[in-house]
Structure 1
Amino acid sequence: MRGTAISPSNHWHLHTQNSPIKQIDRTINLNPVVQFNKTQNPSNGRHPPLSFAINPSKTQTPITPNPGTSPPLVVFGSANADIYLEIERLPEEGETISAKTGQTLAGGKGANQAACGGKLSYPTYFLGQVGEDAHGKLIIEALENGAVRLDYLNTVAAAPTGHAVVMLQSDGQNSIIIVGGANMNCWPETISEEALEVVKNAGIILLQREIPDSVNIQVAKAARSAGVPVILDAGGMDAPFPQELLNFIDIFCPNESELSRLTGSPTESFELITQAVGKCHKMGVKQVLVKLGAKGSALFVEGEEPIKQPAISAAKVIDTTGAGDTFTAAFAVALVEGKSKKECLEFAAAAASLCVQVKGAIPSMPDRKSVLDLLHSQVTDLRHK
């Protein structure tokens, strides 16, 4: 399986043409339509990503992309309206309890990860589906406000926007029930060539399992054919992973429980996690990034020693919703910017730490300056100890 090292010397060129793109239930004239080849890539008018040094005492080659040269993060996935209910505890069977508050916010694993990429000032595309309803408008507005490109987002008439009921407990932990809606229905049998062209010219692809496996497989195959690395977040449907999908991904990213379900192995200790990851390697996945919650994370590359990353403590945990998506997206952004694997883990840990301190998924995604400031403070604290 191809590795995921990204060369910062790759350049991309933007071509435009005035032509309609027919989507599932509508035709949109994009003026201009964005297409790419591998000589330069658009920055969408945003500031280029900032370089960062986790440990300034070490000699590093700083990577400072010029405007217009950063290959985009492309997220193909789900978008949900998250209906938040704040409760003291989960109800017992047959019990009715009252929620302290309730509100609806934009979310969904795909939209969360795209929003994180946008808030980290990295050029990001989101490709998915919403319904022709108020929830769809809510998601579109949230992503546009986060500077995410939605050129290939489909609006479908035959299914409502996906939504989720998030039961947020007083300790910040949550339980979630998802209704797939447009995320799981009305997809075309074959993904459009225009959408796959964006995939083939990306810097990195993020997938999750809140859309049909058949869609993910098409996207992963297109990415592999173009040499674009793919990260598959294991979150979503609780069903066996198709081997065909695993064959075309570069980094598999589960949490402990998802890793246990996939492999049928316990994950109560690091030794057991390592054994479970070994089963993933046998399935053909060479790199496994395991999210361990409060215990941090670890990246397992087949044939190498695992890289451990402790969690960065949060001042106060308000809401863990979206923390895993923040971690995955931040890792992807650092990776496509050419950071070392250790730096990617540190950057992702800092982003996730900031995420859990704010309620909501997309509203809690941190900006790049906040992440860099936290990393700097961590280095400063270590030096003073």
Structure 2
Amino acid sequence: MNETMNENLSKKKVLVIGELLADLISEKDIESLAFSSGFVMSQGGSSANLCANLKWMNIDAELIGSVGDDGLGTYLINEIKEVGLSDKYLTRLPNYQTSLVLVGKSKNTPDFIAYRGADLQIKKIEDNLINEAELLHTTAFALSKDPAKSNILNAFSKAYKMGKYLSIDWNYAPSIWNEDNGVNVFNQICRFKPLIKISLDDIERFTGRKLTIEESMQELNHIDARVICLTCGKDGVWFKKENQAWFHKLALPVNKVVNVTGAGDAFWAGFLAHFINKKSIEDCIENALTTARQKIEKSEPLYKGNLINT
């Protein structure tokens, strides 16, 4: 997306409800967190990253989340404000510690361990915020625990009845959900005909089976969603609109793989930025792939820099 295109995008409201976390990312590529490494702290959380990416693309986006009333919480709020997001709907909780995630940097799927506290304490979403939004987005991470889970599902139910667009990054991980397999929540979300992003890694973790791309598409065929995007890393993305066939787009050539962490959030932000502005699904996918490539080629988050002409 170039700067002229960015200026022409209308500022339509996206309400992102979910996790704002401190990421401790290994300084070097490691196969697993079992190997020692130094770590660098940065603002993280799929929901917060996507919201910041949308803001970077000039989309009117608000983040609803919760952090502890501690040093890490202050750090995260300062980071959010630095990239142009408001902290108006971020709750600071004195009795909960700010959540953090250890991440092993990798050119493949990163290893991670989450230490959770304040992030899952998201409160009831006010009706006026739902009314003002055109699209609501959340993640499997945010939906894994109450009270956040119940409050987000309630907001999605209200938004669906109002005819709003709904979006979910089903970034499922068993270590986050513990004894819950996530099926009931996933089925509830799917009743709202959402836009769904799910990766091959996500669907493998969700089903507990190693699936081929073809098997993954078959697994997703029964879902009644407005759009499903199955992201396949270097093999690109398979996508389908409601009651239509699957289509494939190749991943764009990458000059150098610098860091894949956050590429999925960049992909979906690129998709939603075009979707909210009534672009075709094919154009949404093109922009998603372009945005993901930009993230893979740089070490810092996209929203830490200027828009890149493409």
Give the alignment's TM-score, normalised by structure 1: 0.70
**What is the alpha-carbon distance in structure 1 between the residues aligned to residue 36 and residue 305 of structure 2?**
34
> How many Å apart are 1:177 and its aligned residue?
1.1
Contact 1:319 1:359 in 2 (8 A): yes
> How many Å apart are 1:263 and its aligned residue?
4.8
**What is the alpha-carbon distance in structure 2 between the residues aligned to residue 123 and residue 298 of structure 1?**
28
Query: Is there any run of 5+ residues in structure 2 with no aligned partner, and where?
Result: 175-180
Q: Structure 1 residues 314 and 291 mapped into 2: Cα distance closer, same or farther (>3 Å)? A: same
Letter in 2 for 1:123: D
Contact 2:27 2:40 in 1 (8 A): no
Q: 2:23 aligns with which of 58, 79, 82?
A: 82
Q: 1:179 aligns with which of 103, 115, 123?
A: 115
Q: CA RMSD in A?
A: 2.5
> How many Å apart are 1:88 and its aligned residue?
4.9
Higher mean C-alpha deviation, range 158-167 or range 134-143: 134-143
Q: 1:155 aligns with which of 92, 102, 106?
A: 92
- State the match for 2:307 in structure 1: 369
> How many Å apart are 1:264 and its aligned residue?
5.8
Q: Structure 1 residues 192 and 124 mapped into 2: Cα distance closer, same or farther (>3 Å)? A: closer
Residues 214-293 of structure 1: matches in 2 within 5 Å?
214-238=150-174, 239-241=181-183, 242=185, 243-263=187-207, 266-269=210-213, 271-279=214-222, 281=223, 284-293=224-233
Query: Is there any run of 5+ residues in structure 1 with no aligned partner, and where?
Result: 1-48, 53-62, 375-385
Query: 1 or 2, which has the higher helix percentage?
Result: 2
Residues 165-204 of structure 1: matches in 2 within 5 Å?
165-169=102-106, 171=107, 174-184=110-120, 186-188=121-123, 191-193=124-126, 196-204=127-135
**What is the alpha-carbon distance in structure 1 between the residues aligned to residue 32 and residue 240 of structure 2?**
38
Q: Alpha-carbon deviations, 1:98-135, whole Å to 9, x = none?
A: 42x42110001111111101111211100011111121
Contact 1:131 1:155 in 2 (8 A): yes
Q: 1:312 aligns with which of 252, 257, 271?
A: 252
Q: Structure 1 residues 146 and 350 mapped into 2: Cα distance closer, same or farther (>3 Å)? A: same
**What is the alpha-carbon distance in structure 2 between the residues aligned to residue 256 and residue 331 of structure 1?**
18
- State the match for 1:207 in structure 2: 138
Q: Structure 1 residues 287 and 263 mapped into 2: Cα distance closer, same or farther (>3 Å)? A: farther
**What is the alpha-carbon distance in structure 2 between the residues aligned to residue 365 and residue 65 of structure 1?**
17
Q: Structure 1 residues 286 and 72 mapped into 2: Cα distance closer, same or farther (>3 Å)? A: closer
Greater C-alpha radius of gyration: 1
Q: 2:282 aligns with which of 325, 335, 342?
A: 342
- State the match for 1:31 in structure 2: none
How many matched pairs? 295
Contact 2:125 2:152 in 1 (8 A): no
> How many Å apart are 1:172 and its aligned residue?
6.3
**What is the alpha-carbon distance in structure 1 between the residues aligned to residue 217 and residue 133 of structure 2?**
31
> How many Å apart are 1:165 and its aligned residue?
0.3
> How many Å apart are 1:249 and its aligned residue?
4.2
> How many Å apart are 1:328 and its aligned residue?
1.0
> How many Å apart are 1:148 and its aligned residue?
1.5
Higher mean C-alpha deviation, range 317-326 or range 230-239: 230-239
Contact 2:63 2:89 in 1 (8 A): yes
**What is the alpha-carbon distance in structure 1 between the residues aligned to residue 109 and residue 72 of structure 2?**
24
**What is the alpha-carbon distance in structure 1 between the residues aligned to residue 182 and residue 125 of structure 2?**
27
SS at match of 1:51: helix
**What is the alpha-carbon distance in structure 1 between the residues aligned to residue 26 and residue 12 of structure 2?**
38
Letter in 2 for 1:310: L
Contact 2:9 2:58 in 1 (8 A): no
Higher mean C-alpha deviation, range 209-218 or range 327-336: 209-218
Letter in 2 for 1:219: A
Contact 1:71 1:201 in 2 (8 A): no
> How many Å apart are 1:89 and its aligned residue?
3.3
Contact 1:286 1:301 in 2 (8 A): yes
**What is the alpha-carbon distance in structure 2 between the residues aligned to residue 305 and residue 91 of structure 1?**
38
- State the match for 2:177 in structure 1: none
**What is the alpha-carbon distance in structure 2 between the residues aligned to residue 296 and residue 368 of structure 1?**
25
Give the alignment's TM-score, normalised by structure 2: 0.86
> How many Å apart are 1:254 and its aligned residue?
0.8
Q: Alpha-carbon deviations, 1:358-382, whole Å to 9, x = none?
A: 225xx34476731xx22xxxxxxxx
Q: 1:110 aligns with which of 13, 30, 47?
A: 47
**What is the alpha-carbon distance in structure 2 between the residues aligned to residue 120 and residue 257 of structure 1?**
27
Q: Alpha-carbon deviations, 1:49-78, whole Å to 9, x = none?
A: 9537xxxxxxxxxx9456xxx321211010
